[in-house]
Structure 1
Amino acid sequence: MTDSVAGVRPKIGKRERLVEAAARVFYEQGVEKTTIADIATAADVPVGNVYYYFKTKDQFVHAVIDTHASVLAEIVAGIEPLPGPAERLKAMVASWVDQRDLAARYGCPTGSLAAELDKRPDAFGGEPARLMSLLIDWARAQFTELGRSDAAELAIAFVASYQGISLLANTFRDPELMVTEGARLTRWIDELAGQG
């Protein structure tokens, strides 16, 4: 039996543990409130060892942005074999709804990070926008495949709906808001597919 079959994760290196911990701690308490010591503690890595891998918190932020992009790529790869764009869009909605308890507690991981980094004077070099664009571009491709001439607008509406409901679920600490919005988005996608 392999580790993945047994549900046991293979051992990962210190750098990977640090990035994973940074993503989790940034999500739970925000970038500005997080210290490198917080990340080291969460990763179970001595603080002195952290500097071998990351010299600054900004380097952690870059690594976490890359991790968010990788997670989205994994989700997309997992739903890509579905037979059509409507099914893929609905699978993306289902993945959001599956994360409703975390969203109710902390908001959308990507949206929260983007909103926080955008407040910096340098807006973190546009990296949060690049990250959000990955999802928008994917959604645009799905709506284009549906034959929609308004695919760009629909992609923005799709992502805005998710970001908005994540914010509301977090504000009200109510994961069921995401269930309700997920059902509405599924009906909307079916309607759009029928109009294609």
Structure 2
Amino acid sequence: MTNSTRARGTDKRRRLTAAAAEVVHHQGAERTTIADIAKAADVPVGNVYYYFKTKDDLVQAALSEHAEHLSVLTETLGKLPSPRQRLKAMVAAWVDQRETAARYGCPTGSLATELSKREDDELTQEAGRVMRLLLAWSEKQFRELGLDAPEDLALSFVGAYQGMSVLANALRDPEIMTRQSAALTRWIDSLTQP
């Protein structure tokens, strides 16, 4: 296999993974077909099976894509000088996605909710793992602030985001994200060390 052939294969896999994340977010895992993802990735349907054997493999790829986006975001936010700034920047990043959240919900939260209706399988566990990445990052920020019960604060923080995403989506109102994020930012500013 030449380097050129390998690069084309890597590019197709990358396009399929990105398309899986987008299409599954927009349509849900159950309604999405392999053909939908192939079309979005501009890859012939028959070629998809070379990279992903089943639709569940593509949903797994979508979850991996969400985890990668979160990793890139938290790495970028990690360059900010204080944990309070990092938490508030995370809130701002959520608000920047308010139109998408109002239309489709949180990419990981929506998928985790949908997958939770299945038997306890690998995909359900993977969705939980991605959620735990955000919780762990949030907990670390609260711990660095020297606050009591950083785990509980992280649950409140992520829960607030998930709640505002669900409401914005259910009511098709992106301004819910704007208003609730302002309240979340005030909450972050109000937290003081014991």
CA contact (8 A) 2:63 2:130 kept: yes
SS of corresponding position for 1:33 = coil
Match of 1:45 among 40, 43, 46: 43
- 1:184 counterpart residue number: 183
CA RMSD of aligned residues (A): 1.3
Q: Can you give the 5+ residue segments of structure 1 that lack an aligned partner in the other structure?
A: 1-10
C-alpha offsets along residues 131-162 of structure 1, whole Å, 9 cap, x if unaligned?
A: 10000011001001111111111000000000
Residue number in structure 2 paired with 1:5: none
The answer to whether the 8 A contact 2:109-2:162 is kept is: yes
Q: TM-score of the superposition, structure 2-length normalised?
A: 0.92
**Cα distance, 1:23 vs structure 2:** 0.7
The count of aligned residue pairs is: 185
Query: Would the aligned equivalents of 2:20 and 2:58 in 1 still touch at CA under 8 Å?
Result: yes
Separation in 2 of the partners of 1:82 and 1:46?
43
How much does 1:184 deviate? 0.5
**Cα offset, 1:64, TM superposition:** 1.2
The one-letter code matched in structure 2 to 1:164 is: G
Question: Is the partner of 1:70 in helix, strand or coil?
Answer: helix
**Could you list the runs of 4 or more consecutive aligned residues of structure 1 that deviate by over 4 angstroms after TM superposition?**
none
Q: Are the counterparts in 1 of residues 146 and 193 from structure 2 also a CA contact under 8 Å? A: no
Which deviates further from its counterpart, 118-127 or 42-51? 118-127
Contact 2:112 2:124 in 1 (8 A): no
Measure how far apart 1:43 and its partner are.
Answer: 0.8
Question: In the alignment, does 2:166 pair up with 1:167?
Answer: yes
Partners of 1:27 and 1:68 lie apart in 2 by 10
Structure 1 residue 178: Cα displacement:
0.3
The residue identity in structure 2 corresponding to 1:141 is: K
Match of 1:118 among 116, 119, 131: 116
Flag the 1:99–1:125 CA change in 2: closer, same or farther, 3 A: closer
Question: Given the alignment of the two structures, is residue 21 of structure 1 paired with residue 19 of structure 2, yes or no?
Answer: yes
Match of 1:7 in 2: none
**Residue aligning to 1:62:** 60
1:96 is matched with 94
After TM superposition, give the deviation of residue 195 of structure 1 in Å.
4.1
Whether the 8 Å CA contact 2:34–2:55 is kept in 1: the answer is: yes
> Which amino acid is the alignment partner of residue 100 of structure 1?
R
Could you list the runs of 5+ residues in structure 2 that have no partner in the other structure?
A: 1-7
Q: After TM superposition, give the deviation of residue 122 of structure 1 in Å.
A: 2.3
Please give the alpha-carbon distance, in whole angstroms, between the structure 2 residues aligned to 1:188 and 1:96: 16
% identical aligned pairs = 58
